[in-house]
Amino acid sequence: MKSEYMILIWKIFHLHLASLVPTIVVSSTDVAEKILKTYDHIFANKPHNEATHYLAYGQKNIIFAKYGPYWRNMRKLCTQHLLTNQKINSFQSLRRQQVELMIKSLQNEGRVVVDLSERVASLNANMTCLMVFGKKYMDEDLKLYFKKLFI
Ligand X SMILES: *[C@@H]1O[C@H](CO)[C@@H](O)[C@H](O)[C@H]1NC(C)=O
Q: Of 31, 35, 62, 123, which lies in the binding site for ligand X, with binding defined by CB under 6 A? A: 123
SS3 string, the chain, reads CHHHHHHHHHHEEEEEECCCEEEEEECCHHHHHHHHHHCHHHHCCCCCCHHHHHHCCCCCCCCCCCCCHHHHHHHHHHHHHHCCHHHHHHCHHHHHHHHHHHHHHHHHCCCCCCCHHHHHHHHHHHHHHHHHHCCCCCCHHHHHHHHHHHC
Q: Is 116 in the site for ligand X (CB under 6 A)?
A: no
Q: Of 96, 138, 143, 146, which lies in the binding site for ligand X, with binding defined by CB under 6 A? A: 138
Q: How many residues does the chain have?
A: 151
Q: Is 129 in the site for ligand X (CB under 6 A)?
A: no
| 43 to 82: interface string for ligand X, x by CB under 6 A | ----------------------------------------
Q: Which residue is nearest to ligand X (CB)?
A: 138
Q: Of 67, 122, 135, 142, which lies in the binding site for ligand X, with binding defined by CB under 6 A? A: 122
Q: Is 142 in the site for ligand X (CB under 6 A)?
A: no
Q: Is 11 in the site for ligand X (CB under 6 A)?
A: no
Q: Is 126 in the site for ligand X (CB under 6 A)?
A: yes
Site residues (CB under 6 A) for ligand X? 101-102, 119, 122-123, 126, 136, 138
